[in-house]
Every structure is written in C-alpha cells, then in structure tokens.
Amino acid sequence: MVSLSLKTKTLIALLALGAAALQVTAVACSVNPGPGPAPEQSVTPSPAEGETADIDQLLTPEVRDRILQTVAAEVDRPAAALDIVAAETATWDGCMGIYEPNQMCTMIAISGLRLVVTDGDQSWVYHAHQDGQTMVQNPTAVSRNGLIPDFIPPQPQPQPEPEDHLFRSVESGGLAGIEHQTVLLADGRLLKTENSTVVAETQVTPAELATFQQVLEDQRFPNLHRLRYVTAAAFADYPTVQLSARHYQTHYIDLAIDDAPPALQAVVQAWEDLTAQVQ
C-alpha cells in the first residue's frame, strides 16, 4: 500500500464527509474534491435532490421570461433566440452550488432550480432561486455545436459504489452488452472490471494520484454534477460513460466529447492517461 500524501488524505476525508452529509441534509453546496475549505465550512449536495418535471410546471411564465432576459443580457443573445430546455429542482448553499477552490460558502438551504438554456448551438447551465430573481451561470458546464446537456435520470437501483474509491468510470450501453468499469481506490490501486469481474489491476504512484487529484480540482469537477452530455447515438446502443467521484456524477458520450465542456474534456484526457496502464 502506498503512503498517502496530506493532499490525498484531505481528499479522502472530504469525500467521506460528503457521503455522511447525504444522510442528514439535502442542502446543496460545492465540496472540494482536493485541498480547500475545511470540512466544517462546507455541506454537500444530495445526488437525489434533482426532481425533473415539465418546464411549465416548474416555471411560471413570469419566472421563465425573467430567466431568459437575464441570460440574454449575460450571453449577448436576443431573448427570443434562447430556450430553457431542461429544469430540475435543487437546494443551494450561499455560493449557489458553484464550486471554486478555497471558497467559503454559507451553510444555508436555498430552494432553487438547475436550468439548461440554449440558443441551439451553445448551451449554458444556470443555478437559480425558484423565483428567478437570483441566478448565476455555472461556467464549467458550457457546451457548443448543438450538444445540449440534460440531467441524469433517476436510477431505480443505483449502482453500488466501490469502497474507498476516489474516482470511477463506467462504460455501458454498447451492442456487446458488456459493462466496463475502472476504479481508482484511495490506496492508489486501479481496478478494471468487465461485468463485475476484475480483469486487470495496477498500482499508481503517489505523484500520479496527486496529479490526477489536482486535475479534478483545477477543472472544478463538482460543477459537472448531474449533467449528461449525450447525443441520439446513445439511444442507438452506442456506449455512454459515467464518471463519478463519490456522489458527484456526470455522463458523456465520446462521439461528442469535442463539443463537451473543456473541463470535462480535460478530466477525460487525464483519466485516460492514468488508466492506460490497465488496458
């Protein structure tokens, strides 16, 4: 077993704190996937907080217009050219659920919404109060060239998480029907499985572990939580990939990775570089 650095121990402690917080609060917040605010200054979002519904049920015409006018001014597009294509409920902290390294967030529960707004080419994700009076853009989540994100649908039987894992990728949905999973454990082991059977294992160095951990922080991985960047190919039995760091989770399809947020591209590339040794 490798000797863990202080930075890696901090990461493990924060992720463990997030898992425990899910049992006692539905308050959403940004939690550091690496070094950052002390645990007592942070709360975490519940992965079950998102409740999708028809947009007309979640947004009154007045709130919808207010949101579109705000976005139009921020992204320099006519409001008539914009559309709210996805919305779900959320509970925000004082930072409106936007993660920034070393940022302190007030531990309050604000009932709000997570929104996807698009002009058909570029798409933006916003975190808003329910009345639309206050809203902030999630800058990590911007996509382009017609790749419009939506939200990860509820999973009736969530996949169990590997114990003490720092990061995981699960590729599923292909014609072959094989689920490929690669897991980075807290002790530096990388495990590759096919349909739950371990087929390869290796050990990464503390330096490699720290480097990947730094990528997650630099790219603000928690800001991609609950977002899904897929195309119609995913419904034609082309595999999709789920990335997760404990309860933070995002999905993508590699056919569209070039149009996904640059942060997601950077995480995917770093993960591929790290896991190449267990192929």
141-150: pLDDT as tens digits? 999 999 999 9
In a domain, residue 191? The reply is yes
Residues 51 and 130 in one domain: yes
Is residue 37 over pLDDT 60?
Answer: no
154 domain-assigned: no
**198 plus 262 within the same structural domain:** yes
Q: Are residues 115 and 190 in the same domain?
A: no
Residues 170 and 273 both lie in one domain:
yes
Residue 142 and residue 15 share a domain: yes
pLDDT digits (tens, 9 = 90+) for 84-133: 999 999 999 999 999 999 899 999 999 999 999 999 999 999 999 999 99
Query: pTM of the prediction?
Result: 0.80
For residues 17 and 231, which has the higher predicted lDDT (pLDDT)?
Answer: 231
CA angle 60, 64, 66 (to 5 degrees): 115
Residues 125 and 170 in one domain: no
Q: Are residues 144 and 27 in the same domain?
A: yes
Query: Which residues constitute the domain of residue 72?
Result: 6-148
For the chain, how many structural domains are there in total? 2
Residues 97, 107: Cα–Cα separation, whole Å: 11
- Domain presence at residue 212: yes
203 and 262 share one domain: yes
